[in-house]
Each structure stands twice: as structure tokens, then as C-alpha cells.
Structure 1
Amino acid sequence: MKIIIAGAGEVGFHLAKLLSYESQEINLIDTDKESLAYADTHLDIKVIRGDATSIAILREAKVDICDLLIAVTASETTNITICVLAKQLGAKRTIARISNTEFINYKDEVGFTRFGIDELISPEALAASEIELSLRQTSFSDTYEFEEGALTMAGLTLSKEASFVGKNVKEAAKIFPEIHFIPIAIQRKGTQYTLIPRGDTIFKEGDNVVFITSEGGAEELCRLTGKANTEIKSVMILGGTEIGFKAARDLSEKGFNIKLLEGDKERAFDIADQLPNVLVIKSDGRKVDVLDEESISDMDAFIAVGDNSETNIMSCLVAKSKGVKKSVALVENMDYFELSHSIGIDTLINKKLLAANSIFRYIRKGEVVAMTKLSNMNAELLEFEVKSTSAICNKLIKNVDFPRSAIIGGVIRENVGYIALGSFKIQEGDKVVVCSLLRSIKGVEKLFL
């Protein structure tokens, strides 16, 4: 694919990096000389210095034969303008990064596609949604919902209390007569190797396992693994950033008791005016004595979404040491994901990864409805919609020539999620959730064309 990325900031660079690994043809546009120089020396892409709202610059990037243009500069107004221009100049599909979530809420009513914008994404809104989901599924370190929870991805580390440690997948499945969950990926303790489990795969203590669950499956998993899905009521948020604001707003609307700490006086007053149901405190929450003063030990969850990743991590560790049940930290360094479980933080969130997941489904072939990369694993989780022409349509799963390093986790039919085994027949209109190692994605895509 020929892809233009406007904006070489953290999101744009990360996207360019991931897409270049897949041998996509990338043109990266930005006005900042240093950002482009760094990208040019570290990635196999073409860089163009200039303003992406310039028609001449877009033509230099060959926008007329572009398959996808992604505008992810710091300015949403600029991103919208770039997408409108690019569409008129011949770009097949455009995606704009925005910060005003009203645009997303009313995108059908406003009709952004008429202006030339095919999709809107907000990394901040995605992060806020991820935070809310992690508070609802407290026993899991990694979660993702398909079709508003018809199927849910749940990741956890197996302790010795897990009843199926030492058993293989077939033996574990017999513990419950009705199957509401299935393992789709395993990372062995102390390794970076991702394993797609089969019937004879044995669960081991310390395994980081990703499951797909249908209705009731999350509760079964908690019982089997000796974990408790603790109810969260009181939440402390460190940082009045855009993500902190959105998380506080959304969670307070859902009935959570929210206390937000913000060091900047003007920003604290601004948030307090906009969120009357949130207790906003002008305070430097990075200090241990301040957290104690604000009764951190009485909180059910602590969310650190300040501008500094290291501060967010350290604050979460302090919160955990004070007995807080759930900790969530916003981090910018992707390498920190590998440390999350070992250092004791429950959930790490990265805006770049969330934005990439949202955009990557447009890169994949077939009718990809949703996609997420598994944290710390060399695998992707994709949701395909089955067409009448798809090779998998009207076939039993056991009769499909499916790649060995991929697995069907579940099927959503008429908004109901099913854990689909070999005798399940795939039909037109089904939404099939597949976990695949990167090397097998092309083989999986062919089944859904």
C-alpha cells in the first residue's frame, strides 16, 4: 500500500515505524527538520519536509495514487484540512486524528465522509475507554472488547492457584461443561516467545495467557485462576491531562467517585468548573506525603496519566504499596510494557499503540472490523466480517485450512458471542475473531477476502 503520514510526532513516527516493518510504501510529512532527520535515519521510508496542508507538498508525496492518508499532527484543525484536501486530490481513504470527541460522537450526523474524512480517531479518547474497561475487569492485565462486549479479550498471568496449571487445554476445557472461554495466545515466563495453544498445550505457572471469553466466561476465568474481580468505586487520578480529564468525566458519569490531582492551579480550576461531580485538588500528586494526605489507601484504583512516564510508574508503585487494588499507568516508552507484570503495575496504557491498533485495521485485507496488538506478544487479534465470497463462508471450522500459527477465538452472530470449536459452521455476516502470529496474517486474510 502507498501510505502518507502527515505529522512526525510520537503517534506519526510510531505508525511509520510499524508500517515500514511490513514493507508498506510510506511518505512521512512534517515541518520539523529534526523529527524528519531522525525518522529518515531510523526507518526505511521517504520523508518530505513541508506543510501537509500545501497542495504542492501533497502532490510531491503522490497523493493522487495514495491508498491511505493519515493526518496525525498536533492540531486537529490541520488534520481535518489535510484530509479534505487529500481526498479532493485523489487519496482513496483518509484518517484524521482529533482531540474533540464531539466530532466522533456526532460523526454520522455531521457527515464527515462528505467532506472527505473517512475516519476520525482520538488517542486520548481511546486511552480513556481503555482505562474504563480495565476498571471493570480488575482481575485482568490486558482487556479488549469486540462488539460492545459480545466477546472480550482477557489477559492474565497464571499463578500456582490456577486450577488448570499442569493440565493441557483439552483437560482444562472439561472442568466446565459449557465452554465460555478459550486460550488464544501464551507467553512462557521469562521468554519473548508467543505460542498459539493447541489441545495438547500444557498451562504452566507464570504463563502470560490471553483468553477470548463470551458472556459468563470472565467470571469462570476468575474462579479457575483464583483471582477476584474486585468492584471499583473510588478512583484517584493523577494528572489533569486531556486523558485525565476525559477519564474523570467518563468515569464520574458512570457513577465512580473520582478524586483528581493536578499541580497547575489554572488547569485545576478549569477542570473543576467543567466537572462539578469530580473532586479536583490542586496538588503535586507525585509526592508520597501528598498521596497520604489525600487518603490514597482508601482508594480502590489509582490512575496515573501525567506527562512523565517514569513519574506515572513510580506513583502507581507507591499506590500499590499503600494497598490500592488496581493501578493504571500511562507510558510513552513501548519497552516499559515488558516490565509491567514484573514490577507490579496492573495495566499500562500507551496512546501510540492504541492509535496504531485503531488505524491498522485499514491496512489489513478483508473486511476487518476491529484490531488490537497483544501487549508484549508477536501477535495480532483481528475481527473479520465474513462475506459470501470468503473462502471460510459456509464451512465447518475443522474443515478450514487454517494456518497453524493462528486460531479462531470466537464468532459474533447477531450480536451474540460464541466460543466456536471445530463443529461450528461459519456463515455470511458472522464476525470472526482471530488471533494470529505476524507471519501468518497474510494467510488468514486470504480466508476472508
Structure 2
Amino acid sequence: MKIIIAGAGEVGFHLAKLLSYESQEITLIDPNKDSLMYADSHLDIKVLKGDATSIRILTEAKVSTAELFIAVTSSQSTNITACVLANQLGANKTIARISNTEFIDFKNKGGFTKFGIDELISPEQLAAKEIELLLNQSVFNDTYEFENGALTMLGLNLTNPAQIIGKTVREAAQMFPNVHFVPIAIQRFGSHLTTIPRGDTMLTEGDHVVFITSKGGDEELCKLAGLFKTEIKNVMILGGGRIGRKTAKGLTKTQGRFNVKLVENDKERAFELADRLPNTLIINADGRNVELLEEENISEMDAFIAVTGNSETNIISSLVAKNRGVKKTIALVENMDYFELSHSIGIDTLINKKLLAANSIFRYIRKGDVVAMTKLSSMDAELLEFIVNPNSKICDKVIKSINFPLTAIIGGVIRDGDGMLALGDFKIIAGDRVVVCCLPTSIKKVESFFY
């Protein structure tokens, strides 16, 4: 697939890096020579210095033959303009990164598709939504919803007194008469290797296990893992940037559900936030000051969310919060290498804007009718939601009769809005939305079942 990316910043570089691993034909455009030199020396891609809103530059990049044009510069107006031009010059699909999320909320009214923009993404909004979902599933490390919660991905670390430690996947399933969860990926403690579990796979202490659950599956997992669901009420947010502001706004939308404090060091921004977030208590102070956090009763918080522009500040302050007894800690990080450390250093969840943006864009790369996709944090695996068409190879087949690769697993099926676990005797029909977890080695074979 020929893909052009406008913007060699953190999001653009990360996308180019991931896509280059899959042997896609990538051209990266940016006016900054240094950014392009770094990308050119580290990635197997083409680079082109120039303005992505220049018709000459787009023509030189051969945009007329591009199957996908992605504009992810730091300038919203540049991204929109570049996508409109790319569409007019022949690009098949376009995606624009925006900062004003009103454009997403009123996408149809704004007429963006008429202009030739197929998708709008906001990494900051994606991060805010991820945080809100994590607070709603507070006992789990990772979470992702398919079709508004018809099926949910949940991740946790197995520690004593989890009842499923020392049991096989099949034995764990037999502990409930009508099981509503199935494990889809496991990472052993101290290992970077991701495995797709089978019925005879043993669950051991320290495993990081990702499950697909239907309605009620989260409660079953809590019982088996020895976890107690606690309501998140008092929340402290460190950092009043776009993510902090969007998170506070989302959490206080339902009056009385969350009590939110937001700590912002910049005085001018703090006053601005106080005007824009009337239901949030804004504190103008340096959140790195431990005494300040204690004065603001950090030990009484149920959740601490660190989303400043500095990854190290976010990690250290989250560790301080955890040390003071905060149940749920979430930290925004830019360095992907930190993901491997999250569970060992004690932070519940790390989030990354680049990864969230890539997840949103990658479904356009995959073959078959992909409507949702996410990469598992700290794991080398993907979760994809495919729509089954009448001519799909998998249509009208019983799962156990399908020659599905061993490095992939069907986690569940959404039919007519209802989520259900898909075991061996389950028959897949046209219109089903099938959620698949697979390792990179089996992606192409999995795709072949759905187109």
C-alpha cells in the first residue's frame, strides 16, 4: 500500500515506523530537515522536504497514486488543507489530525467528507476517552470497548490470591456455569514474549493476561482474580493541557459522579481553566511538590492522573500517589520503552498519544472490513474487529472447522448489538462483527478470512 504521511513529529514518525515494519511504501513529508534526516537514517522509507499544502510537493510525492494520505502535523489548518488538496489530486483516502474536537462532534454538519476528508482524529481526545474508560474499569490495567461495551477487552496481572493461578484456561472457564470471559493473550512475568493461549495453557502467578468479556465478565474476573471493584469518586489530575482539560470536562459532565481537582503550574492557564471548567477545582501550583500534594489530600484520592508534557514528571508523581495509597494511577508517557516498566515499577496504567493515534489509523491499513483496531499495550499483538460479508471465507462456518492460525484467536462476536463469546461450535454468519486477537506473524492470514 502506498501511504503518504505529512508531518514528521512524534505522531508522524511513530506511524511511519510502525508502517515501515509491515513493508508498506511510505513517503514522509516535512519542512524540517533535521526531523527528516533522523527518519531517513532510522527507517526504510522515502522522505521529502517541503510544505504538505504545496501542490508541487504533493505532486512530487505522487499523491495521485496514494491509497492513504495522513496529515498529522502540529497545525490543524495545515492538516485539513493538505487532506483536501490530496483528495483533489487523487489520493484514495485521507485522515487529518485536529485539535478542535468540535470538528469530530459535528463532522457531518461540517461537511468534511464533502471536502474529501474521510477521517478526523484527535490524539488528545483519544487519550481523554481512554482515561475515562480506565476509571470506569478501575481494577484493570488495560481496557478497550467494542460497540459501546457489547464486548470489552480487559487486562490484569495475576497475583495471589487469584483462584485461576495454577489452572489451565479450560479449568478456569469451568469455574462458572455460563462463563463470560475468555483469555486472548498472555505475557509471562519477566518475559517480552506474547502468546495466544489455548485450552491447555496454564495460568501462572505474575502473568499479564488480556481477556475478552461479554456482559458480566468483568465481575467474574474480579472474583477469580481476588479483586474488589471500588468506586472511583475523588480524582486528581496533574497537568492542565489539552488532555487534562478534556479529561476533567468529560469526568464532570455527569454532575456529582466525580469530584475532580486539577493541578496546573501555569497561572494564566489555571485562571483560564477555572473559567472553562466550573465543576472542577483548579489549583495553581507545582504538582511535583510532594508537600503540596499532601496538603491537597492526595491520600484521599481514588485516582491520580498525570498528563503533563513531561513523561518523567508523570511517572514520578504517579509513584508518589501510589505510595500515598491512591488506588488507581495513570501516567501519560511519550517513550514507548516505558511500557515495559509500568507493571514492575507499580503504576497501574501508562497511556501514549502516538499509540492511540496509530490504533485509530491502522484499521485503514488492514485488509477486510475492519471497523475497530487496537494494539495491546506492552504486548506484541493486535485486536481487530471485522465485519463478516456474505463472500468472506469465514462466513457460514463453524469456528472449529476453520483453519485459523495458532497465533490468532477469535475472542468474541457481536451480533445485532449483542456481544457473545465464540467457542468451537459457534457458527459465524454474514453481518457478524468478529473480534480477533493475533500476533504480527498471522495478520495477513487472518485478514484473508474476511475479504
TM normalised by structure 2 equals 0.99
* CA-CA distance at 1:295 after TM superposition: 0.9
Give the counterpart letter for 2:162 in structure 1. A
Aligned residue in 2 for 1:93: 93
* CA-CA distance at 1:377 after TM superposition: 1.2
Equivalent of 1:390 in 385, 389, 392? 392
Partner Cα distance (2:135, 2:164) in 1: 26
Does 2:23 match 1:23? yes
Give the counterpart letter for 2:435 in structure 1. V
Alignment of 1:23-422 (within 5 A): 23-254=23-254, 255-422=257-424
* CA-CA distance at 1:168 after TM superposition: 0.7
Give the counterpart letter for 1:413 in structure 2. R
1:253 counterpart SS class = coil
Partner Cα distance (1:336, 1:390) in 2: 39
* CA-CA distance at 1:308 after TM superposition: 0.3
Give the counterpart letter for 1:383 in structure 2. E
Show structure 2 runs of 5+ residues with no match.
none
Could you list the per-position Cα deviations for residues 260-290 of structure 1 after superposition, in whole angstroms to 9, with x for gaps in the alignment?
0001000000011011111101111111011
* CA-CA distance at 1:109 after TM superposition: 2.5
Give the counterpart letter for 2:340 in structure 1. E
Could you list the per-position Cα deviations for residues 287-323 of structure 1 after superposition, in whole angstroms to 9, with x for gaps in the alignment?
1011011111111100000010000000000001111
* CA-CA distance at 1:256 after TM superposition: 1.1
1:243 counterpart SS class = helix
Equivalent of 1:443 in 442, 445, 448? 445
Q: Percent identity?
A: 70
Could you list the per-position Cα deviations for residues 128-148 of structure 1 after superposition, in whole angstroms to 9, with x for gaps in the alignment?
000001101111101100001
1:201 counterpart SS class = coil
1:384 counterpart SS class = strand
Give the counterpart letter for 1:431 in structure 2. R
Partner Cα distance (2:107, 2:426) in 1: 37
* CA-CA distance at 1:176 after TM superposition: 0.2
* CA-CA distance at 1:111 after TM superposition: 2.5
Q: Which moved more, 1:120-129 or 1:255-264?
A: 255-264
* CA-CA distance at 1:160 after TM superposition: 2.4
Partner Cα distance (2:227, 2:346) in 1: 15
Give the counterpart letter for 1:9 in structure 2. G
Pairwise CA RMSD = 0.6
Give the counterpart letter for 1:21 in structure 2. Y
Give the counterpart letter for 2:204 in structure 1. K
Could you list the per-position Cα deviations for residues 231-280 of structure 1 after superposition, in whole angstroms to 9, with x for gaps in the alignment?
00110000001000000000011331110000100000001101111110
2:190 counterpart SS class = coil
Give the counterpart letter for 2:442 in structure 1. S
Give the counterpart letter for 2:414 in structure 1. I
* CA-CA distance at 1:228 after TM superposition: 1.6
Give the counterpart letter for 1:412 in structure 2. I
* CA-CA distance at 1:214 after TM superposition: 0.3
Partner Cα distance (2:374, 2:9) in 1: 21
1:369 counterpart SS class = strand
1:179 counterpart SS class = coil
Partner Cα distance (1:149, 1:127) in 2: 18
Could you list the per-position Cα deviations for residues 426-446 of structure 1 after superposition, in whole angstroms to 9, with x for gaps in the alignment?
011110000001000000000
Could you list the per-position Cα deviations for residues 160-199 of structure 1 after superposition, in whole angstroms to 9, with x for gaps in the alignment?
2111111111111110010100000001111111110011
* CA-CA distance at 1:376 after TM superposition: 1.4
2:354 counterpart SS class = helix
* CA-CA distance at 1:40 after TM superposition: 0.5
Give the counterpart letter for 1:442 in structure 2. K
Partner Cα distance (1:411, 1:277) in 2: 39
2:391 counterpart SS class = coil
2:268 counterpart SS class = helix
Partner Cα distance (2:220, 2:171) in 1: 15
Give the counterpart letter for 1:180 in structure 2. H
Partner Cα distance (2:111, 2:432) in 1: 27
2:347 counterpart SS class = coil
TM normalised by structure 1 equals 0.99
Partner Cα distance (2:231, 2:283) in 1: 24
